[in-house]
Each structure stands twice: as C-alpha cells, then as structure tokens.
Amino acid sequence: MGTPVNILTALILFVLLSTECDAVEFTVNQFKHAKLIKKEELPDFKKSSPISVLYYFLKDNPRHRGFYAEYDKSAEYLGLYNLKLGVVDCRDADNLDIDRCSQLDTPSSVFTYSHGNDLLALEIETMFDVNSMMSNILQLVLLREVPILQSEKEIESFINKHKGTTDIIFSFQKAIGTYEHRIFMEVAYAFHHKFQFAISTSQNAVGGLVNPPSATDEARIWVMMCSQVPSPQEDCFVNVYDDRMDLSSLANFMRKLDLPSNFDIPGNGTSHPYTPDLGLHLVYLFYRDTTKHLVQDILRVAGNQFHGKAAFLTINVEQTLPEMIGLDSFPPNTPAIAVQIESKGRPDLMTEEAWSVDSAFEFFVNKLHEYNMKPKDGHIESPSDVMDIGRDDDKVFPDDGEEKDRYREEVETEDDHVAEAVQRARRIKLDIELAQALTDETFTSTIKERNIVFTLFYLPFDHRSLAFLRAYGEAARKFENETERPFTYVNCYDWTDVCAKEKITQYPTLKIFHQGKYLKDYGGMLSIEDVITAYKLLKQEKPVSLLEKNDIEKFFNGILPDGSNISGSVFVVGLFADAQSKGVNTYQGVAKRLGDQFTFGINTNGNGKDFVHIYGCSGLPCIVVLKKRDIVQPFVAYSGDVSSAEELSKFIEQSLTPSLAELTPSLFPRLYKQKQPFVISFIDETETSREMLEPVQTLVRSGSFPDLIFCSLQSGDGNSFGRQILQTYHNSTSSSLPALSYAHLSEGKVYNYMDNSFSKEQIEAWLRDIQSQKVENQPQFLLKDGKYKPRLQGYHFMEFIKEEESMKHRRVPNNRDPEVEVANIHGIGFDSEGNEVQHQEEGSGRPEVVDDSEVRKELIDLQQSRLYHHAKERHKPPHKKNSDDQSQTVTIPTGEEPEGPITLGKDASGTEDPITPGTEASGTESGSTPSSKKPIIHEDL
C-alpha cells in the first residue's frame, strides 16, 4: 500500500501547485508601455502613426507570457520612434463585437496597420523578443526606403539607379528579425534621408559583392560610394564594415561616414568638421601650390578606401598659419604626411623616407596597424575581453565558448588563408560518404580488387588535408550513380601503420594504384575537376590506337575513335611509319607516365603521313601537342630527340600552358613559378578588346619575348578579381578597358601602357624600353613589400585555462533570450525543463541584452533635428558642391579648445592634447521624394 499512497500524495500536491500557479493570472493591466485601446479608440489609433501595431488579448495563455513581456518592452523602445503598440482587451464586454475578438486564431498573431488600413498579421512565433519585434516593425515602416533585394539582377539595377546621386548602405541579413537586423534598421531610420539603405537575405544574391558573407556569418554591411560616380558604366567604390555589429559602433560609423572624406584648409575653411569625440584617425597632408597634385594622388588612392575610419586634411602651408589649426609649426618640406590616431595626441610626422604615394600610403597604413596591434588601456586583452559587446553587459564568454573559439581561430589562422578557410567552413557538413575509408584490414584487398584506385592519405588536424578532403568528397559524389567507386582515403592519425608502410611523409598525399600495383603520386591541382579528369584519362587506353586516317583526323579535332570527347584541353598525337620505328617505345612509355594529365594517341602504320605537313612536321616520326584553348598557338610540333623520354616529357609538360593564357586563380601558381614578368591584357567581351589582342598575339607568335609571360584577364565584370587588379595597378576605380600592364611581381613594379593606340610596333617598343630600364619609363605603381606580421594581438595560452576554470564558478549569460531556444519545444514562457516561467515585474528579471538607450535617443534626436534635414549633402566632399549652392554655414560647438599648440614630430610624446577646432557644416535644403502608394510587402516578413 506504500507505493499507491505516495503516488496519490504526489498527485494531490501537483493539482494544488497547478491551481496555485493558474491563480497568478496575467491581465492587460500589467502592460505598462503598450497602450490599452478601447473600441471607440480603434480607428484613431490605427491612423495615429505610419505603422500601428495591435495585439488582441482574448485570454491569458501561460505559454505566451514571455511574449507579453517582450511586447511591452518593444512598445517602450518603438515609442521613441513615434510608433505605437497597443492592446485590445477582448474580455471587456464593450469590446466583444470587435471582429478580431471573435476569431480563434487571433491570439497567435500581432496585427499591423498603415494609415488605418490592415497591413500584415505577424505570427508571434516570429515575434518572440524585442529584436524580432523592433526589426520587423521598423522594416515595415521603411519598406520603401529600405527595400529587400533577393537577386543579383535586383541588386545591380538598384546600384545603377543610384549612381551619381546617393551613397548606398547595403546589408546581407541571414534572417529577418535578428539582433543584427534590428540595429541595421534603427540606424537606417536615423540616416535614410541621407543614404540609400537596402538589405538582402539571399546569400546567392550577394555572392558577387566584395568579401561576400560565409555560411556562418549572421550579417554583413557594405558601403557603396556611388554618389560621385560620373556615369552608369563606372563602378562604385565598395568598402566593407568591419567593426562590431552593435548599435553604438554602427551608429558611430554612420556619423563618420556622413562627413566628407577629405577637407582642404583653407580651401574649404579653416575649421574642419572632424571632432575628437568621433574617434577618427586624422591624416595631415601638407602641400604648397607646386606640390598640391602630389597629395591629391594619395587622396585618390586612400580617400574612399578609409572613408568612415580616417579623414584626410590637406593643408596649404603657404596660405595657412600653424596656430590656425592648433599646430606649432609646419614641416619644412612638402609634400609631407602626419598621422594623428583617433584625433588624440600629437600628429606623427613621416621623416624617414622621401615622398612618394607608395611610401606615404605605407606610412599611414603602418600607423593604423600599430594602433590595431597595441593593447588597449595598456594591458593585453584577456580572453574575457574578447566578446561581442552587443549582446550582454557581463564581460564573460557565451556558454558555448563560440566567441573564445573565434578569437583563437583568428589568431591561429591569421597567416594561413587555407587554415582560415577551413576553420570558417568547419560547420558545413563534410560530404565524404561516397569515398571509402580504408583501414589496415581493407587497404590491401581494396587495391587488389579494383582496376584503378585513388587513395588520399591525410591527417585530420592538417588544414590542407581537410581543405582537399572536402573537394575529394565532392569528386566522389560525381560517381554516385556508377558501379565503380574509385576514391578511397586513409586517416593517417588512426592508421599509422598503413601510412608508414606506404612511406607517407607529407599531407595530403594522393596515390594512384592500377591493377593492384602502385602507379604514381597524383601531381595535379587539388580540385574536383582535375581529380575527376585524371581518373577519366587513366581509364583510357594509353596511348589510344589510331588505325585509320578517319580516326587520326577525328583525334586532331578532339574526338576519340569511339565518338566521345577527349578529356582535358591538351592532348598529344604520335605518328610513326611502323611499330618498330625509332621513338615508338619512348612515346608509349611517356604516355603511360603522363597518362593522368594528357590523352595520347598513336598511329604506327604510316597513315599519319598525310597530316605531318599540316601540323608543322617535316616527316615521320611526328609528335604534335594540341592545345584546344590556345587561340594563338593551337598546336606545336616536337623537334627534339624522339628517343629521349626526358626531353619529350619536358616538352609536353611545358606545352600545358597556353602561349597567351587567360589568367585564372588555378593557372596563376603554375605561371608564377616561372619567376618571369607578366604582360597582362585586361579585356572584356567588346570588339575593342578583340582588336587590342591582335597585335599582342602577333608578338607572342613572333617569339620576340621568350622571357615574358603573356596572358589575358577578363575584367568586364565590376566585381571580378580582374577589375580589382586593374584598379589596383592604375590607382583608380574608373580605369577603362582594354588596358595593358607589365607586372614584375618579384620586384614589385608595375608599368602601365598609357598610349591609346595599340599596335604591334608601339607595344614592342614599350616592352623594349621597360627591359632596357630607360629613365623615362618609371613604374606607375609599386606593389607593397609584404611584411607578414601578425594582424592580431597574440593570446596567452594559460589565460584561456584560467578563464575556463573561472567560468565554472560564475554565471554565464546567453547571447539570446532563453525563450528563443526552447520556444519551439515547450512554447514561449516556459523554461528548458518545460516549467512555466512566471512573469516578473519590470526591473526584477534579467537585464536587457544591451543598454542602447543613449545611442537610440541620439539617433532619434538626429533624425528629428533641423540640421539633419537641411544637410542632406554633408557626406559629399565639400569641393564637389555646385557653385550655385547658397546654403548657410552652421557652426557646431565642439567643446573646449586645446590649451596649447601641438608640435609635429615623433619625439613629442607623452601628452594627449587633441586638436579640437571648431566645426563647420554646410548643407542644402531639399525635400524628400514622395513614396509610391503601391504596396511593397516581402515574403520574409
């Protein structure tokens, strides 16, 4: 009887506790910020703001109590934006005949209205916290001002529309309703009259932009400087926002971006607008009338690139007194450059080197690098300091250690791009199912049973192994529907005996076995296409027998005797009088050794004699290398010793590269290893580019420059790496096509062909002048000498151990609301154990994720200020203003003036005297364009 009594007692206690819990019922009177709306107030409330939001409260649902608290908090914040959130008490007898109160599905949605009309019903499953509510509602308010673009074509059209008029702030958001989406929309609300904002939630749509987001990125923001682009055919300069993704950091960045990138003294006035509170790095460029053009060169290079991070002050020392800008003296020689980090301390003057755009730019960049590497506040950051400050006020890591892992990852992979790429892809599932894992028991039997076997030997902690393992798995997936599965792998960390027996000394190693025996190590590119091509080539007969003239002719045209296309772009034909001819055995041996790289064909009955003169041979034997992708030299005949396997192999392998190759990332390493200068033709698909290539092709055929690598680079697409290289070589974002550059990469020198006429004689003379090092042919651009220093402050390994120990004894807050993690399992308002979370009085619960109240208030004040609406053009450079601009100057106080002058020089250290001159800001009064009445509602909302 003991057990039944205990069970009965437990049931009684459960019923009593449940009754007590249910007695604490939530009522509409507990809403403190969401306004309680009566029936007669409904029409006016729906019209009271651009977007009004209502929740119809039918009855208390314990699973929705978390939502009630978040809705009330959102009402407080959105009220600052003049957006009203209300609640209708459907239990009030006066409200019973309201339509929404009689619908059963009403409690599961929040209803929005625009100017009194129904807009959208948003399910509360997607409105579970302040972030999701504020971002969704602000997106509705600004739907026309901040459109959602979901395709490359939409984005391209949007950018072209605003060229020459407005700068664009464009963002990728992994989802609508996130924290990142919320802060972007809050900033867009404040600045949308001055910049054009837009977002996309499609990763494919933004894949063509500079530095596209990875699969793990929650958000990314690009600044597209389109306002100064003179024509739709030219590209906007693009920068990527790389600061913290929180409201304070993003709002401060927008304030900086709103200012001109450069200010001339006295040309634009004597008081610049870069106040110390903005924290901008100031770059002083001193000039005289005779050297002004030299400082303008660095503005062209760096002005847009650092807009929002640094400001450039060009100072005419002949028309300005040092004390006018808070300096003690000017440098004796011009041009000169000085850098003042964060507008604090004394400007640091470059004194070591003679002036050049390259040296000045490097000096500035090095100063930024030193600043970024310098420990903040005089101490090295502990692991606890490395966190996303936009998520919690407590200086500790999230409970999953994600931020700490990210910091470790950045430090440990900062000098290894392969390692960095592998780390960033580690959360993407590795598809290796169709490649067979071999062990000490299955290795030997698998090799013997199959005709051709590719075996990858790798280490699971080697980044290059993991990078190739992913491609290797995708290559194996291509054989999913075939009976033969050639791809296998061995984990050398688990099966050291197998790898030791195969003498594996480097990773990854890909070995090829044929008919149960070792054939060779694969030496091609570690890519999906190259590995698959190698396998297909090995399956072919080596060499392919070409008996009839028709077979030979088809082979010359890239077709095998069975009618299938030849794999690869380079193939070889050997024509002999008979099977005993000199060189037959040598040719067959080379075909077997290089059979995974080229397709070899052979005729040994004399039927090839009719083709020898067509392809440049004097007679039989005749060996020809054919290159399908080489438009300049589609074939080349071998003239060496046919009995020398070494000479023949070298000739064939060297012929792999086209004589005027299209430069690609996969081809570049092969060309770069030759250590010869590049002559690069930057082209597009136009007739002008084709005409420009003709004299270059003629030069290549002539063989006049055997020590140069001629190549072409497609640069028509504004986002292509070809266009980026062209812009770098020309120090310009508006370089025209076609273009020709001589790049001596090992010396870091680039020469640009500046003549508008492209003829063989002119190009040949230009190349001769460069090679003879004529004085008048100085390089137009100098590539930076790479100094591979760490980008980040290193971490102390023991600090991480201490951090992990201390975390065991302190509270570790979540970045996200706990209800978010369990809402889909237990419902909103319940904890991870399924227990109801009682509604807490305001101030008694956990603190708000981020206290952005002051920042938000400043943004709203800015949006409402007279200066904001009367200064739409402030973010454009002052010298770009129209001559008929009659706007008045508005002086903004900047606080106290510095106590004394500042002396330029590196030896003046130890003080923090900021330059704080007065600020001028001028603007042009302009109205906003009325928005269309056409509704624009995106499905993501």
Question: Do 139 and 145 form a contact (C-beta atoms < 8 A)?
Answer: no
Task: Give the residue, 340 or 840, on which the prediction is more confident.
Answer: 340
Whole-Å CA distances, 29 to 34, 71, 88, 177, 696: 10, 14, 11, 28, 82
The pLDDT tens digits of the residues spanning 663-679 come to: 888 788 888 888 889 99
What pLDDT, on a 0 to 100 scale, did the predictor assign at position 521? 93
**Band of pLDDT at residue 899, cut at 50, 70 and 90:** very low
**Residue among 176, 194, 243, 238 at smallest CA distance from 212:** 238
Domain of 472, CATH number, reads: 3.40.30.10
Instruction: Report the DSSP beta bridge partners of residue 35.
Output: 86
Q: What is the mean pLDDT of residues 244-256?
A: 88
| Residues 494 and 566 occupy one common structural domain | no
Query: How far is Cα of residue 72 from the mean position of the Cα atoms in its chain?
Result: 37
Q: Return the residue matching tokens 């064939």.
A: 652
pLDDT at 107 over 70: yes
Asked if the model's pLDDT at residue 501 lies above 80, the reply is: yes
Whether 434 has a pLDDT exceeding 70, the answer reads yes
Q: Are residues 111 and 40 in the same domain?
A: yes
* Residue 393 included in any domain: no
SS3 category, 853: helix
Residue type, 633: Q
What is the distance between the alpha carbons of residues 691 and 689, in angstroms, rounded to a whole number? Answer: 5
Q: What is the 3-state secondary structure (H, E, C) of 223-254?
A: EEECCCCCCCCCCCEEEECCCCCCHHHHHHHH
% the chain with pLDDT above 70: 74
Residue 172: pLDDT band by 50, 70, 90 thresholds?
very high
Statement to judge: residues 528 and 544 lie in one domain: no
Decide: 85 and 75 in contact? Cβ < 8 Å.
yes
Q: pTM of the predicted model, to two decimals?
A: 0.45
The answer to whether residues 219 and 172 touch, using CB atoms and an 8 Å cutoff, is yes
Q: How far apart are CA 237 and CA 719, in angstroms?
A: 10
- 563 φψ region: left (φ > 0), alpha (ψ -120 to 50), beta (else): left
End-of-domain residue from the set 532, 567, 588: 532
> Which token pair is 428?
């993407």
- Rounded distance, CA 531 to CA 510, Å? 10
The pLDDT value given to residue 870: 39
Report which of 381, 297, 306 is spatially closest to residue 341, judged by C-alpha positions: 306
> CA–CA distance from 586 to each of 518, 555, 646, 652, 777 (Å)?
21, 21, 9, 13, 49
User: Is residue 934's pLDDT more than 80?
Assistant: no
Confidence of residue 382 (pLDDT cuts 50, 70, 90): very low
Contacts of 412 (CB under 8 A, 6+ apart): 419
Q: Where are the beta strands (DSSP E) in 684-799?
A: 709-714, 739-744, 749-752, 781-782
DSSP string computed for 353-383: S---HHHHHHHHHHHHHHHHHSPGGGSPPPG
| 802 has pLDDT over 80 | no
Domain check: are 624 and 683 in the same one?
no
Same domain, 523 and 544: no
Q: In whole angstroms, give the CA distance from residue 718 to residue 741.
A: 18
Residue 54 has pLDDT above 90, yes or no: yes
Q: Is the pLDDT at 641 greater than 60, yes or no? A: yes
pLDDT at position 800 is: 59
> Which two tokens mark 379?
């101490």
Q: How many CB atoms lie within 10 A of CB 880?
A: 10
pLDDT in tens, 705-736: 888 999 999 988 877 888 889 888 887 766 78
Q: What is the pLDDT of residue 308?
A: 86
**933 lies in a domain?**
no
Please check whether residues 72 and 47 belong to one and the same domain: yes
Tokens standing for residue 930:
């009325």
Rounded Cα gap, residues 431 and 872, in angstroms:
52
Question: Can you read off the two tokens belonging to residue 126?
Answer: 């997607």
Does residue 208 lie within any of the structural domains?
Answer: no
Give the structural domain span for 509: 436-532
Is 341 a residue whose pLDDT tops 80? yes
Q: Is the dihedral of CA 157, 158, 163, 165 positive or negative?
A: positive
Q: For residue 167, what are the contacts with CB-CB under 8 A and spacing of at least 6?
A: 195, 196, 223, 224, 225, 226, 227, 257, 875
Mean pLDDT taken over the chain: 78
Answer whether residue 298 shows pLDDT above 90.
no
Looking at the structure, tell me whether residues 612 and 708 fall in a common domain: no
Q: Are residues 574 and 477 in the same domain?
A: no
Higher-confidence residue of 867 and 281: namely 281
Question: b/e for 429-461, b at 16 or more Cβ within 10 A?
Answer: eeebebbbebeeeebeebbeebebbbbbbbbee
Stretch 163-185: mean pLDDT: 92
Which three-class secondary structure state does DSSP give residue 473?
Answer: helix
Q: What are phi and psi of 739, to 5 degrees?
A: -145, 155
Beta strand pairing call for 436-437 and 336-340 = unpaired
pLDDT at 879 over 70: no
921 occurs within a structural domain: no
Strands (E), 604-723: 622-627, 635-637, 661-662, 678-683, 709-714
Cβ(876)–Cβ(195) under 8 Å?
A: no
Query: Is pLDDT of 905 > 70?
Result: no
| 661-662 sheet: strands from edge to edge | 661-662, 709-714, 678-683, 739-744, 749-752, 781-782
- Tens of pLDDT along 677-687? 999 999 998 99
- In angstroms, rounded to a whole number, what is the distance separating the alpha carbons of residues 75 and 645? 82
Write down which residue in 465, 498, 532 finishes a domain. Answer: 532
pLDDT of amino acid 872: 39
Residue 704 dihedral angles phi and psi, to the nearest 5° = -70, -25
Quote the crossing angle between the two packed helices 760-771 and 687-702, to the nearest 10°: 60
Half-sphere exposure of 538 (CA within 13 A, CB side): 20
- Give the model's pLDDT for residue 560: 92
Asked if the structure places residue 344 within a domain, the reply is no
Q: What six digits make up the tokens of 447?
A: 């090799």
Q: Where are any strands of DSSP class E within 726-835?
A: 739-744, 749-752, 781-782
pLDDT score of 832:
55
pLDDT tens figures, 551-573: 999 999 999 998 888 988 899 99
563 in any annotated domain:
yes
- What is the phi/psi pair of residue 148, to 5°? -100, 115
Strands laid side by side in the 262-265 sheet: 262-265, 310-316, 281-287, 336-340, 348-349
Categorise residue 794: left if φ over 0, alpha if ψ from -120 to 50, beta otherwise: beta
- Determine contact, residues 152/205, Cβ cutoff 8 Å: yes
Q: Tokens 């059979």 — which residue?
A: 595
Please name every residue paired with 921 in a beta bridge, in sequence order, or none if there are none. Answer: 890
Q: What is the pLDDT of residues 828-842, one digit of tens each?
A: 455 555 555 554 444
User: 68 with 46, same domain?
Assistant: yes
pLDDT at residue 353, rounded to an integer: 61
- Give one DSSP letter per residue of 652-668, joined into a string: HHHTTS-TTEEP-TTTH
**Amino acid type, 69:** A
Q: Tell me the average pLDDT across 621-639.
A: 88
- Distance, CA of 642 to CA of 621 (rounded, Å): 8
Of residues 389 and 491, more confidently modeled: 491
Q: Judge if 588 and 513 occupy the same domain.
A: no
The band of 782, judged by pLDDT with boundaries at 50, 70 and 90, is confident
DSSP 148: B
Beta-strand ranges (E) seen in 699-811 are 709-714, 739-744, 749-752, 781-782
Q: Is the dihedral of CA 424, 429, 433, 434 positive or negative?
A: negative
Residue entry with tokens 């634009």: 268
Question: Could you tell me if 545 and 636 lie in one domain?
Answer: yes
- The predicted pLDDT at position 529 comes to 87
| pLDDT score, position 456 | 97
Query: What residue type is assigned to position 736 of the chain?
Result: S
pLDDT at position 784, please?
66
Among residues 747, 782, 817, the one where a domain terminates is 782
Does residue 328 or residue 340 have the better pLDDT?
340
For residue 306, is pLDDT > 80?
Answer: yes
Q: How many structural domains does the chain have?
A: 4
Mean pLDDT throughout 249-264? 89
> Based on the domain organization, do 676 and 759 belong to the same domain?
yes
- Joined together, the tokens standing for residue 656 give 């792999």
pLDDT of 903 over the 80 cut:
no
| Model pLDDT for residues 176-228, shown as the tens digit of each residue | 888 999 999 999 988 888 899 999 999 889 988 888 888 888 899 999 999 88
The pLDDT of residue 46 is above 70: yes
Domain-located, residue 600: yes
Q: Residue by residue, what is the 3-state secondary structure of 411-446?
A: HHHCCCHHHHHHHHCCCCCCCCCCCEECCCCCHHHH
Most confident segment among 395-399, 413-417, 536-540: 536-540
Tens-place pLDDT, residues 592-601: 889 888 999 9
Q: Is 78 inside a domain boundary?
A: yes
As a whole number of angstroms, the distance between CA 55 and CA 87 comes to 5
